[in-house]
Chain A
Amino acid sequence: MIANPATLRPDHERIVITGVGLAAPNGNSLPEFRDALLNGRSGVSEYEIRYVGKTLAGVCSFDELRYQKKKELRRGTRAASVGIYCANEAVKDAGLDWPNLDKSMVGIYIGVTEHGNVETENEIYELRGFDYDTKFWSHHHNPRTVANNPAGEISLNMGITGPHYTVGAACAAGNAGLIQGAQMLRLGECDVAIAGGVSESVRTFGIFASFASQGALATHSDPAKASRPFDTERNGIVVAEGGCLYILERLSDAKRRGAKIYGEVAGYAMNSDASDFVLPNPTRQAECVQLALRRARLAPEQVDIVSTHATGTSSGDVQECTALRSVFAGSEATWFNNAKSFIGHAMGAAGSLELGGNLPAFADGVCHPTINVDTLDPECALDGLVVNEAREKKRVDVILNNSFGMLGINSVVIITRI
Chain B
Amino acid sequence: MGPAEIKETILDILEGIAPDEDLSGLKDDVPLREQLELDSMDFLDIVMELRKRYRVQIPEDDYLELATMNSTVNYLTPLMKDLEKV
Contact = CB atoms under 8 A, between A and B. Distances in A.
Contacts of B42: 71
A139 B41 contact: yes
Contact of A70 (B20, B41, B45): B20
Contacts of A69: 19-20
Nearest to A135: B51
A275 interface: no
B52 A130 contact: yes
Nearest to A126: B52
A140 interface: yes
Q: Which of B20, B37, B42, B44 has the most CB of A within 10 A?
A: B20
A71 B18 CA distance: 6
Nearest to B18: A71
Contacts of B57: 135
A74 B52 contact: no
Interface string A44-85: 000000000000000000000000011100110000000000
B44 A74 contact: no
A138 interface: yes
Contact of A139 (B16, B18, B44): B44
B13 interface: no
A64 to B, nearest CB: 13
Interface residues of B, number: 14
A71 B20 contact: yes
Interface string A107-144: 00000000000000000000000100001101110010
Contacts of B45: 139
Contacts of B17: 71, 74
B48 interface: yes
Interface in B1-59: 16-20, 37, 41-42, 44-45, 48, 51-52, 57
A74 B19 CA distance: 9
A136 B57 CA distance: 11
Contacts of B20: 69-71
Interface of B: 16-20, 37, 41-42, 44-45, 48, 51-52, 57
27 contacts: A69-B19, A69-B20, A70-B19, A70-B20, A71-B17, A71-B18, A71-B19, A71-B20, A71-B37, A71-B42, A74-B16, A74-B17, A74-B19, A75-B41, A130-B52, A135-B51, A135-B57, A136-B48, A136-B51, A136-B52, A138-B48, A139-B41, A139-B44, A139-B45, A139-B48, A140-B41, A143-B41
